């Protein structure tokens, strides 16, 4: 059975920076969960960040991931990304359902580092 990596916040886990989830209610997702095809994962928590935590954005000028109060959390984000890769390799995962706009999960849309939305 193929497994799918899924952002923990989609499965109702309160792991987001604001201590909330972004539950995704979908019949297919519920079926996959019942069939134990899903592996829930939050790279930010896996990298050592707390819940709740200050919002962070990837800075366009230098690629660092900085919180809104100026803390460099790049190391934690990189550690979380490495753990995600390790899990995907360990479980032969080829697909992931990830939260867009997140600095750790977004693939086409992320905030620009200016904290201006």
Q: In this predicted model, what pLDDT tens digit does every residue of 31-46 receive, in sequence order?
A: 999 999 999 999 999 9
Q: How far apart are CA 21 and CA 101, in angstroms?
A: 14
Mean pLDDT of 6-12: 96
This prediction's pTM = 0.89
Domains of the chain by residue range: 4-97
Mean pLDDT of 59-63: 87
Asked whether the beta carbons of 25 and 115 are under 8 A apart, the reply is no
Predicted local confidence at residue 111, as pLDDT: 67
Radius of gyration of the chain from Cα atoms? 14
Query: Across-strand partners of 67?
Result: 56
Q: How far apart are CA 117 and CA 35, in angstroms?
A: 38
At residue 16 the predicted structure's pLDDT band, cuts being 50, 70 and 90, is very high
Predicted local confidence at residue 113, as pLDDT: 65
Three-class DSSP category at 64? coil
């Amino acid at each position: 059975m193929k497994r799918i990596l899924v952002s923990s916040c989609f499965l109702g886990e309160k792991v987001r920076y604001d201590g909330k989830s972004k539950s995704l209610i979908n019949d297919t997702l519920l079926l996959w969960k019942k069939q134990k095809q899903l592996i829930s994962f939050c790279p930010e928590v896996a990298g050592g960040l707390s819940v709740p935590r200050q919002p962070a954005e990837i800075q366009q000028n230098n690629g660092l991931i900085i919180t809104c109060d100026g803390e460099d959390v790049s190391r934690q984000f990189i550690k979380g990304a490495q753990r995600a890769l390790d899990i995907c390799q360990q479980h032969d995962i080829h697909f992931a359902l990830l939260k867009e706009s997140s600095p750790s999960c977004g693939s086409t849309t992320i905030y620009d580092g200016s904290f201006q939305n």
